[in-house]
Structure 1
Amino acid sequence: MSGGHANLLPVYVMADESGSMTKVMGQLNEGLRSLHEALLGEPMAAAKVRFSVLGFSETVLEHLRLADLRHAEEMPELTPRGRTSYGAAFGDLRQRIPADVEALKAEGFTVHRPAVFFLSDGQPTDQGWLEVHRQLTDRNVTKGAPNIVACGIGDAQAATIRQVATRDEYGFIANAGTEVGASIAQFCTALTKSIVESGRSLGSAQPELVVERPQGFRMAIDVV
Protein backbone atom coordinates (compact mmCIF):
# COMPACT_ATOMS: atom_id res chain seq x y z
CA MET A 1 0.00 0.00 0.00
CA SER A 2 1.47 3.32 -1.09
CA GLY A 3 -0.12 5.37 1.67
CA GLY A 4 1.35 3.58 4.67
CA HIS A 5 -1.55 4.92 6.77
CA ALA A 6 -0.34 8.50 6.26
CA ASN A 7 -2.82 11.27 6.99
CA LEU A 8 -4.36 12.95 3.95
CA LEU A 9 -6.66 15.94 3.45
CA PRO A 10 -8.62 15.97 0.19
CA VAL A 11 -9.00 19.59 -0.98
CA TYR A 12 -11.38 20.69 -3.70
CA VAL A 13 -11.35 24.08 -5.37
CA MET A 14 -14.83 24.58 -6.84
CA ALA A 15 -14.49 27.72 -8.96
CA ASP A 16 -17.14 29.65 -10.85
CA GLU A 17 -16.57 29.30 -14.59
CA SER A 18 -19.70 31.18 -15.67
CA GLY A 19 -19.54 33.81 -18.38
CA SER A 20 -19.35 36.65 -15.86
CA MET A 21 -15.84 35.47 -14.97
CA THR A 22 -14.52 36.11 -18.49
CA LYS A 23 -12.50 39.24 -17.70
CA VAL A 24 -10.87 37.83 -14.57
CA MET A 25 -10.29 34.18 -15.45
CA GLY A 26 -6.67 34.97 -16.21
CA GLN A 27 -6.14 36.13 -12.62
CA LEU A 28 -7.68 32.93 -11.30
CA ASN A 29 -5.47 30.75 -13.47
CA GLU A 30 -2.42 32.76 -12.44
CA GLY A 31 -3.40 32.38 -8.79
CA LEU A 32 -3.59 28.60 -9.14
CA ARG A 33 -0.15 28.55 -10.74
CA SER A 34 1.20 30.59 -7.83
CA LEU A 35 -0.38 28.15 -5.39
CA HIS A 36 1.36 25.27 -7.15
CA GLU A 37 4.73 27.03 -6.97
CA ALA A 38 4.25 27.80 -3.28
CA LEU A 39 3.40 24.20 -2.44
CA LEU A 40 6.46 22.94 -4.28
CA GLY A 41 8.39 24.92 -1.67
CA GLU A 42 6.45 23.22 1.15
CA PRO A 43 6.88 19.52 0.31
CA MET A 44 6.08 18.24 3.81
CA ALA A 45 2.74 20.07 3.85
CA ALA A 46 2.00 19.28 0.21
CA ALA A 47 2.49 15.57 0.90
CA LYS A 48 -0.53 15.65 3.22
CA VAL A 49 -2.91 17.06 0.60
CA ARG A 50 -4.63 15.65 -2.46
CA PHE A 51 -5.81 18.51 -4.63
CA SER A 52 -8.71 18.70 -7.07
CA VAL A 53 -9.70 21.64 -9.28
CA LEU A 54 -13.29 21.76 -10.51
CA GLY A 55 -15.02 24.45 -12.52
CA PHE A 56 -18.77 24.94 -12.48
CA SER A 57 -21.30 26.73 -14.63
CA GLU A 58 -24.36 24.81 -15.85
CA THR A 59 -22.19 21.69 -15.54
CA VAL A 60 -19.00 20.77 -13.71
CA LEU A 61 -15.69 20.16 -15.43
CA GLU A 62 -12.94 18.20 -13.69
CA HIS A 63 -9.64 19.92 -14.37
CA LEU A 64 -7.51 18.10 -11.78
CA ARG A 65 -8.35 15.14 -9.54
CA LEU A 66 -6.72 14.07 -6.28
CA ALA A 67 -3.32 15.31 -7.39
CA ASP A 68 -0.17 15.25 -5.31
CA LEU A 69 1.03 18.71 -6.33
CA ARG A 70 4.64 17.76 -5.65
CA HIS A 71 4.43 15.66 -8.80
CA ALA A 72 2.07 17.76 -10.93
CA GLU A 73 3.81 19.32 -13.93
CA GLU A 74 1.43 22.26 -14.23
CA MET A 75 -1.94 23.56 -13.12
CA PRO A 76 -4.98 23.42 -15.41
CA GLU A 77 -6.50 26.38 -17.24
CA LEU A 78 -10.09 27.26 -16.39
CA THR A 79 -12.30 28.73 -19.11
CA PRO A 80 -15.50 30.81 -18.75
CA ARG A 81 -18.70 29.23 -20.06
CA GLY A 82 -22.44 29.20 -19.36
CA ARG A 83 -24.47 30.27 -16.35
CA THR A 84 -24.04 29.86 -12.59
CA SER A 85 -25.59 26.63 -11.30
CA TYR A 86 -24.86 26.03 -7.64
CA GLY A 87 -26.90 22.84 -7.84
CA ALA A 88 -24.53 21.44 -10.47
CA ALA A 89 -21.56 22.22 -8.22
CA PHE A 90 -22.96 20.61 -5.09
CA GLY A 91 -24.51 17.68 -6.96
CA ASP A 92 -21.12 16.83 -8.43
CA LEU A 93 -19.44 16.95 -5.02
CA ARG A 94 -22.24 14.82 -3.57
CA GLN A 95 -21.22 11.99 -5.93
CA ARG A 96 -17.51 12.70 -6.16
CA ILE A 97 -16.41 12.99 -2.54
CA PRO A 98 -17.58 9.61 -1.19
CA ALA A 99 -15.93 7.85 -4.14
CA ASP A 100 -12.70 9.77 -3.66
CA VAL A 101 -12.60 9.04 0.07
CA GLU A 102 -13.07 5.33 -0.57
CA ALA A 103 -10.37 5.34 -3.26
CA LEU A 104 -7.84 6.99 -0.93
CA LYS A 105 -8.69 4.62 1.90
CA ALA A 106 -8.22 1.67 -0.45
CA GLU A 107 -4.66 2.94 -1.02
CA GLY A 108 -4.04 2.74 2.72
CA PHE A 109 -4.40 6.41 3.68
CA THR A 110 -6.10 7.81 6.73
CA VAL A 111 -8.47 10.39 5.25
CA HIS A 112 -9.53 13.54 7.08
CA ARG A 113 -12.79 15.32 6.36
CA PRO A 114 -12.49 16.89 2.90
CA ALA A 115 -12.37 20.65 2.46
CA VAL A 116 -14.09 22.50 -0.38
CA PHE A 117 -12.97 26.03 -1.24
CA PHE A 118 -15.89 27.52 -3.16
CA LEU A 119 -15.49 30.72 -5.20
CA SER A 120 -18.30 32.54 -7.00
CA ASP A 121 -18.76 36.02 -8.43
CA GLY A 122 -22.55 35.95 -8.62
CA GLN A 123 -25.88 34.58 -7.52
CA PRO A 124 -27.07 31.09 -8.49
CA THR A 125 -29.28 30.98 -11.57
CA ASP A 126 -30.88 27.64 -10.64
CA GLN A 127 -33.60 26.64 -8.21
CA GLY A 128 -33.37 23.83 -5.66
CA TRP A 129 -29.66 24.11 -4.96
CA LEU A 130 -30.17 24.44 -1.23
CA GLU A 131 -31.56 20.90 -0.99
CA VAL A 132 -28.60 19.51 -2.95
CA HIS A 133 -26.29 21.44 -0.62
CA ARG A 134 -28.12 20.05 2.43
CA GLN A 135 -27.62 16.49 1.21
CA LEU A 136 -23.94 17.13 0.50
CA THR A 137 -23.22 18.53 3.95
CA ASP A 138 -25.40 16.11 5.96
CA ARG A 139 -22.99 13.66 7.55
CA ASN A 140 -25.79 11.10 7.85
CA VAL A 141 -26.39 11.24 4.10
CA THR A 142 -22.99 11.80 2.47
CA LYS A 143 -19.96 9.83 3.57
CA GLY A 144 -17.12 12.30 3.97
CA ALA A 145 -19.48 15.29 3.95
CA PRO A 146 -17.08 18.20 3.51
CA ASN A 147 -16.29 21.41 5.30
CA ILE A 148 -17.09 24.19 2.81
CA VAL A 149 -15.20 27.47 2.82
CA ALA A 150 -17.16 29.91 0.65
CA CYS A 151 -15.81 33.15 -0.82
CA GLY A 152 -18.00 35.61 -2.67
CA ILE A 153 -16.67 38.26 -5.04
CA GLY A 154 -18.25 40.64 -7.54
CA ASP A 155 -22.04 40.36 -7.42
CA ALA A 156 -22.16 37.50 -4.90
CA GLN A 157 -24.33 38.28 -1.89
CA ALA A 158 -23.29 37.76 1.71
CA ALA A 159 -26.54 35.98 2.64
CA THR A 160 -25.98 33.38 -0.08
CA ILE A 161 -22.33 32.84 0.85
CA ARG A 162 -23.43 32.25 4.45
CA GLN A 163 -25.76 29.51 3.22
CA VAL A 164 -22.96 27.83 1.31
CA ALA A 165 -20.34 27.89 4.08
CA THR A 166 -20.69 25.06 6.58
CA ARG A 167 -19.64 27.29 9.50
CA ASP A 168 -20.05 31.03 10.01
CA GLU A 169 -16.28 31.46 10.20
CA TYR A 170 -15.93 29.77 6.79
CA GLY A 171 -17.96 32.35 4.84
CA PHE A 172 -16.23 35.43 3.37
CA ILE A 173 -17.39 38.24 1.11
CA ALA A 174 -15.15 40.75 -0.67
CA ASN A 175 -15.35 44.30 0.67
CA ALA A 176 -17.61 46.59 -1.33
CA GLY A 177 -15.82 48.34 -4.16
CA THR A 178 -12.96 45.83 -4.33
CA GLU A 179 -11.81 45.12 -7.87
CA VAL A 180 -12.74 41.53 -8.75
CA GLY A 181 -9.31 40.60 -10.08
CA ALA A 182 -7.70 41.77 -6.85
CA SER A 183 -10.23 39.74 -4.85
CA ILE A 184 -9.34 36.61 -6.81
CA ALA A 185 -5.64 37.16 -6.13
CA GLN A 186 -6.33 37.48 -2.40
CA PHE A 187 -8.53 34.37 -2.49
CA CYS A 188 -5.70 32.37 -4.05
CA THR A 189 -3.18 33.69 -1.52
CA ALA A 190 -5.45 32.74 1.39
CA LEU A 191 -6.14 29.35 -0.20
CA THR A 192 -2.41 28.70 -0.42
CA LYS A 193 -1.85 29.63 3.23
CA SER A 194 -4.82 27.52 4.33
CA ILE A 195 -3.54 24.45 2.49
CA VAL A 196 0.01 24.84 3.78
CA GLU A 197 -1.07 25.32 7.39
CA SER A 198 -3.63 22.51 7.19
CA GLY A 199 -1.00 20.19 5.72
CA ARG A 200 1.39 21.05 8.53
CA SER A 201 -1.40 20.45 11.05
CA LEU A 202 -1.97 16.93 9.73
CA GLY A 203 1.53 16.07 10.86
CA SER A 204 0.81 17.23 14.41
CA ALA A 205 -0.87 15.59 17.38
CA GLN A 206 -4.06 17.62 16.79
CA PRO A 207 -4.76 17.77 13.04
CA GLU A 208 -7.30 20.36 11.93
CA LEU A 209 -8.47 22.38 8.95
CA VAL A 210 -6.85 25.81 9.07
CA VAL A 211 -8.75 28.54 7.21
CA GLU A 212 -7.09 31.84 6.38
CA ARG A 213 -9.38 34.83 5.76
CA PRO A 214 -8.44 36.56 2.48
CA GLN A 215 -7.28 40.14 2.79
CA GLY A 216 -9.95 42.56 1.61
CA PHE A 217 -12.74 40.20 2.67
CA ARG A 218 -15.14 40.29 5.59
CA MET A 219 -16.88 37.41 7.24
CA ALA A 220 -20.25 37.10 5.49
CA ILE A 221 -22.05 36.91 8.83
CA ASP A 222 -20.88 40.47 9.60
CA VAL A 223 -22.59 41.96 6.53
CA VAL A 224 -26.05 43.35 7.31
Structure 2
Amino acid sequence: MAETRGVLLPAYVVADESASMGPHHQALSAGLASLCNGLRAEPMIAAKVRLAILGFSDDVQLRQGLSDMRTVERLPMLAVRGATNYGAAFADLGRRIPHDIQALKNDGYKVHRPVAFFLSDGQPTDGRHWHEPHRRLVDREATPFAPNIIACGIGSARADTMLQVATRREFAFVAVPSADIGTAIAEFFHALTASLVASGRALAGGEPQLVVTRPEQFRLAIDEV
Protein backbone atom coordinates (compact mmCIF):
# COMPACT_ATOMS: atom_id res chain seq x y z
CA MET A 1 0.00 0.00 0.00
CA ALA A 2 1.30 3.45 -0.89
CA GLU A 3 2.39 5.63 2.01
CA THR A 4 0.05 8.47 2.95
CA ARG A 5 1.45 11.84 1.91
CA GLY A 6 -0.26 13.66 4.76
CA VAL A 7 -3.57 14.76 6.19
CA LEU A 8 -5.36 17.80 4.77
CA LEU A 9 -8.25 20.12 5.60
CA PRO A 10 -9.96 21.46 2.44
CA ALA A 11 -11.42 24.93 3.01
CA TYR A 12 -13.73 26.92 0.74
CA VAL A 13 -14.38 30.64 0.98
CA VAL A 14 -17.78 31.37 -0.58
CA ALA A 15 -18.06 35.14 -0.91
CA ASP A 16 -21.02 37.22 -2.05
CA GLU A 17 -20.12 39.17 -5.19
CA SER A 18 -23.56 40.73 -5.73
CA ALA A 19 -23.91 44.39 -6.74
CA SER A 20 -24.71 45.46 -3.18
CA MET A 21 -21.14 44.55 -2.23
CA GLY A 22 -19.86 47.23 -4.63
CA PRO A 23 -19.12 49.86 -1.98
CA HIS A 24 -17.14 47.26 -0.05
CA HIS A 25 -15.09 45.75 -2.85
CA GLN A 26 -11.88 47.23 -1.49
CA ALA A 27 -12.55 45.68 1.91
CA LEU A 28 -13.24 42.32 0.23
CA SER A 29 -9.97 42.49 -1.71
CA ALA A 30 -7.98 43.52 1.36
CA GLY A 31 -9.57 40.79 3.49
CA LEU A 32 -8.84 38.13 0.92
CA ALA A 33 -5.22 39.29 0.64
CA SER A 34 -4.86 39.19 4.42
CA LEU A 35 -6.19 35.62 4.50
CA CYS A 36 -3.80 34.39 1.81
CA ASN A 37 -0.82 36.21 3.32
CA GLY A 38 -1.74 34.99 6.79
CA LEU A 39 -1.56 31.39 5.64
CA ARG A 40 1.69 32.01 3.78
CA ALA A 41 3.16 33.37 7.00
CA GLU A 42 2.49 29.99 8.66
CA PRO A 43 4.04 27.53 6.19
CA MET A 44 3.93 24.54 8.52
CA ILE A 45 0.22 25.18 9.09
CA ALA A 46 -0.50 26.04 5.45
CA ALA A 47 0.88 22.63 4.52
CA LYS A 48 -2.18 21.10 6.20
CA VAL A 49 -4.76 23.31 4.47
CA ARG A 50 -5.97 23.52 0.88
CA LEU A 51 -7.86 26.72 0.09
CA ALA A 52 -10.41 27.51 -2.64
CA ILE A 53 -12.05 30.87 -3.30
CA LEU A 54 -15.53 31.05 -4.88
CA GLY A 55 -17.45 34.21 -5.74
CA PHE A 56 -21.21 33.91 -6.14
CA SER A 57 -23.90 36.20 -7.52
CA ASP A 58 -26.14 35.08 -10.41
CA ASP A 59 -23.73 32.18 -10.81
CA VAL A 60 -20.46 31.00 -9.26
CA GLN A 61 -17.03 31.98 -10.48
CA LEU A 62 -13.99 30.04 -9.33
CA ARG A 63 -11.45 32.64 -8.23
CA GLN A 64 -8.96 30.07 -6.98
CA GLY A 65 -9.12 26.31 -7.19
CA LEU A 66 -8.23 24.22 -4.14
CA SER A 67 -4.59 25.17 -3.60
CA ASP A 68 -1.59 24.97 -1.32
CA MET A 69 -1.07 28.64 -0.46
CA ARG A 70 2.68 28.09 -0.14
CA THR A 71 2.84 27.68 -3.91
CA VAL A 72 0.31 30.29 -5.08
CA GLU A 73 2.05 33.26 -6.70
CA ARG A 74 -0.93 35.43 -7.68
CA LEU A 75 -3.56 36.48 -5.17
CA PRO A 76 -7.16 35.67 -6.19
CA MET A 77 -9.49 38.59 -6.89
CA LEU A 78 -13.20 38.91 -6.21
CA ALA A 79 -15.55 40.91 -8.47
CA VAL A 80 -18.84 42.79 -8.03
CA ARG A 81 -21.76 41.71 -10.22
CA GLY A 82 -25.36 40.55 -10.33
CA ALA A 83 -27.76 39.20 -7.73
CA THR A 84 -27.47 36.98 -4.63
CA ASN A 85 -28.24 33.44 -5.76
CA TYR A 86 -27.62 31.19 -2.76
CA GLY A 87 -28.75 28.12 -4.69
CA ALA A 88 -26.00 28.57 -7.27
CA ALA A 89 -23.41 28.59 -4.49
CA PHE A 90 -24.65 25.40 -2.84
CA ALA A 91 -25.19 23.55 -6.10
CA ASP A 92 -21.64 24.41 -7.15
CA LEU A 93 -20.19 23.17 -3.86
CA GLY A 94 -22.23 19.98 -4.22
CA ARG A 95 -20.50 19.26 -7.53
CA ARG A 96 -17.09 20.66 -6.71
CA ILE A 97 -16.32 19.18 -3.30
CA PRO A 98 -16.61 15.47 -4.19
CA HIS A 99 -14.39 16.02 -7.24
CA ASP A 100 -11.79 17.91 -5.19
CA ILE A 101 -11.74 15.40 -2.34
CA GLN A 102 -11.37 12.46 -4.69
CA ALA A 103 -8.48 14.19 -6.45
CA LEU A 104 -6.69 14.69 -3.11
CA LYS A 105 -7.26 11.06 -2.18
CA ASN A 106 -5.96 9.94 -5.57
CA ASP A 107 -2.82 11.97 -4.84
CA GLY A 108 -2.27 9.95 -1.67
CA TYR A 109 -3.66 12.27 1.01
CA LYS A 110 -6.00 11.57 3.86
CA VAL A 111 -8.70 14.22 3.96
CA HIS A 112 -10.75 15.60 6.81
CA ARG A 113 -14.28 16.82 6.31
CA PRO A 114 -14.11 20.08 4.35
CA VAL A 115 -15.23 23.42 5.72
CA ALA A 116 -16.97 26.23 3.84
CA PHE A 117 -16.93 29.83 5.07
CA PHE A 118 -19.99 31.58 3.64
CA LEU A 119 -20.23 35.39 3.61
CA SER A 120 -23.24 37.36 2.34
CA ASP A 121 -24.55 40.90 2.78
CA GLY A 122 -28.11 40.14 1.73
CA GLN A 123 -31.04 37.80 1.56
CA PRO A 124 -31.15 35.20 -1.25
CA THR A 125 -32.67 36.54 -4.46
CA ASP A 126 -33.69 33.00 -5.48
CA GLY A 127 -36.37 32.82 -2.79
CA ARG A 128 -36.60 29.36 -1.26
CA HIS A 129 -35.14 27.61 -4.30
CA TRP A 130 -31.75 27.41 -2.57
CA HIS A 131 -33.07 25.06 0.10
CA GLU A 132 -32.93 21.90 -2.03
CA PRO A 133 -29.30 22.23 -3.27
CA HIS A 134 -28.33 23.16 0.29
CA ARG A 135 -30.14 20.12 1.69
CA ARG A 136 -28.34 17.82 -0.75
CA LEU A 137 -25.00 19.45 0.02
CA VAL A 138 -25.17 18.94 3.79
CA ASP A 139 -26.85 15.50 3.71
CA ARG A 140 -24.00 13.17 4.61
CA GLU A 141 -25.78 10.18 3.09
CA ALA A 142 -26.31 11.92 -0.24
CA THR A 143 -22.94 13.71 -0.08
CA PRO A 144 -20.40 11.68 1.95
CA PHE A 145 -17.95 14.61 1.80
CA ALA A 146 -20.59 17.11 2.98
CA PRO A 147 -18.88 20.18 4.41
CA ASN A 148 -19.22 21.94 7.71
CA ILE A 149 -20.58 25.40 6.84
CA ILE A 150 -19.81 28.53 8.83
CA ALA A 151 -22.24 31.28 7.79
CA CYS A 152 -21.62 34.98 8.39
CA GLY A 153 -24.17 37.63 7.52
CA ILE A 154 -23.56 41.34 7.17
CA GLY A 155 -25.72 44.20 5.93
CA SER A 156 -29.28 42.99 5.31
CA ALA A 157 -28.52 39.27 5.73
CA ARG A 158 -30.84 37.97 8.46
CA ALA A 159 -30.00 35.81 11.44
CA ASP A 160 -32.64 33.20 10.62
CA THR A 161 -31.15 32.78 7.14
CA MET A 162 -27.63 32.30 8.48
CA LEU A 163 -28.99 29.70 10.88
CA GLN A 164 -30.46 27.81 7.94
CA VAL A 165 -27.19 28.00 5.99
CA ALA A 166 -24.84 26.96 8.81
CA THR A 167 -24.56 23.27 9.62
CA ARG A 168 -24.61 23.95 13.38
CA ARG A 169 -26.23 26.76 15.33
CA GLU A 170 -22.89 27.80 16.79
CA PHE A 171 -21.54 28.18 13.23
CA ALA A 172 -23.99 31.00 12.37
CA PHE A 173 -23.02 34.64 12.92
CA VAL A 174 -24.37 38.07 12.03
CA ALA A 175 -22.69 41.43 12.36
CA VAL A 176 -23.96 43.56 15.23
CA PRO A 177 -26.26 46.36 13.98
CA SER A 178 -23.72 49.08 14.78
CA ALA A 179 -20.90 47.42 12.83
CA ASP A 180 -19.41 49.17 9.84
CA ILE A 181 -19.73 46.74 6.93
CA GLY A 182 -16.19 47.29 5.67
CA THR A 183 -14.83 46.62 9.15
CA ALA A 184 -17.08 43.57 9.52
CA ILE A 185 -15.67 42.13 6.27
CA ALA A 186 -12.14 42.65 7.57
CA GLU A 187 -13.04 40.91 10.83
CA PHE A 188 -14.62 38.02 8.91
CA PHE A 189 -11.37 37.35 7.08
CA HIS A 190 -9.31 37.84 10.24
CA ALA A 191 -11.42 35.25 12.09
CA LEU A 192 -11.33 32.93 9.07
CA THR A 193 -7.52 33.07 9.07
CA ALA A 194 -7.41 32.39 12.81
CA SER A 195 -9.78 29.44 12.40
CA LEU A 196 -7.70 27.86 9.63
CA VAL A 197 -4.41 28.42 11.44
CA ALA A 198 -5.77 26.89 14.65
CA SER A 199 -7.36 23.97 12.78
CA GLY A 200 -4.16 23.39 10.82
CA ARG A 201 -2.14 23.47 14.02
CA ALA A 202 -4.44 20.86 15.54
CA LEU A 203 -3.94 18.64 12.47
CA ALA A 204 -0.18 19.07 12.65
CA GLY A 205 -0.28 18.12 16.33
CA GLY A 206 -2.15 14.89 15.61
CA GLU A 207 -5.34 16.01 17.38
CA PRO A 208 -7.57 17.11 14.50
CA GLN A 209 -10.44 19.44 15.24
CA LEU A 210 -12.27 22.22 13.46
CA VAL A 211 -11.69 25.47 15.32
CA VAL A 212 -14.25 28.19 14.61
CA THR A 213 -13.38 31.71 15.71
CA ARG A 214 -16.19 34.25 16.13
CA PRO A 215 -15.36 37.42 14.20
CA GLU A 216 -15.16 40.64 16.21
CA GLN A 217 -18.28 42.79 15.80
CA PHE A 218 -20.34 39.67 15.10
CA ARG A 219 -22.71 37.81 17.37
CA LEU A 220 -24.14 34.34 17.26
CA ALA A 221 -27.22 34.31 15.06
CA ILE A 222 -30.42 33.97 17.08
CA ASP A 223 -33.75 33.60 15.36
CA GLU A 224 -37.01 35.09 16.55
CA VAL A 225 -39.78 32.90 18.00
Q: Output the CA distance in 2 between the equivalents of 1:87 and 1:126.
A: 7
The equivalent residue for 1:38 is: 38
Closer, same or farther: CA 2–188 of 1 in aligned 2, 3 Å: farther
Deviation at 1:38, TM superposition (A): 1.5
Shift of 1:37: 1.6
**Partner residue in 2 for 1:110:** 110
Shift of 1:40: 1.5
Aligned to 1:22: 22
1:1-28 deviations in Å (ceiling 9; x for gaps): 9983301000000000000000101111
Q: Distance in 2 between matches of 1:109 and 1:119?
A: 29
Identity %: 54
Instruction: Report the CA distance shift for 1:194/1:2 in structure 2 as closer, same or farther (over 3 A).
Output: farther
- Larger deviation: 7-16 or 26-35? 26-35
1:2–1:107 Cα contact (<8 Å) kept: no
- 1:7-86 to 2 correspondence within 5 Å? 7-86=7-86
**Normalising by the residue count of structure 2, what TM-score does the alignment of the two structures yield?**
0.96
For the residue of structure 2 that corresponds to 1:76, the secondary structure is: coil
Equivalent-residue separation in structure 1 for 2:13 and 2:2 (angstroms): 25
- Equivalent position of 1:123 in the other structure: 123
Q: Distance in 1 between matches of 2:123 and 2:109?
A: 37
- Distance in 1, matches of 2:140 and 2:48, equals 23
| Residue of structure 2 in register with 1:196 after alignment | 197
How far is 1:66 from its partner? 1.0
Contact 1:3 1:107 in 2 (8 A): no
Moved over 3 A (4+): 1-5
Deviates most, 66-75 or 115-124:
66-75
Q: What is the CA-CA distance between 1:221 and the residue it aligns to?
A: 2.5
From the superposition, tell whether residues 190 and 64 of structure 1 become closer, same or farther in structure 2 (CA, over 3 Å). same
How many residue pairs align between the two structures?
224
Counterpart AA for 2:8: L
Structure 1 gaps of 5+ residues are none
Separation of aligned partners in 2, 1:64 and 1:79: 13
Partner of residue 220, structure 2: 219
Distance 1:141 1:200 in 2: 30
Q: In structure 1, what is the equivalent of residue 164 of structure 2? A: 163
**Structure 1 residue 223, shift from structure 2 partner:** 6.8
Structure 2, unpaired ranges of 5+:
none
Q: Note the aligned Cα RMSD (angstroms).
A: 1.6
1:204 positional shift: 2.4
SS of 2:78's equivalent in the other structure is: coil
Q: What's the TM-score, normalizing by structure 1? A: 0.96
Residues 116 and 146 of structure 1 are in contact (CA less than 8 Å); yes or no, is this contact kept in structure 2?
Answer: yes
Give the conservation status (yes or no) of the 8 Å contact 1:10–1:113. Answer: yes
1:138-157 residue CA offsets vs partner (Å, 9 max, x unmatched): 00001200000000001100
Alignment deviations for residues 84-138 of structure 1 (CA, whole Å, 9 cap, x no partner):
0000000000000011110000000000000000000000000311111110000
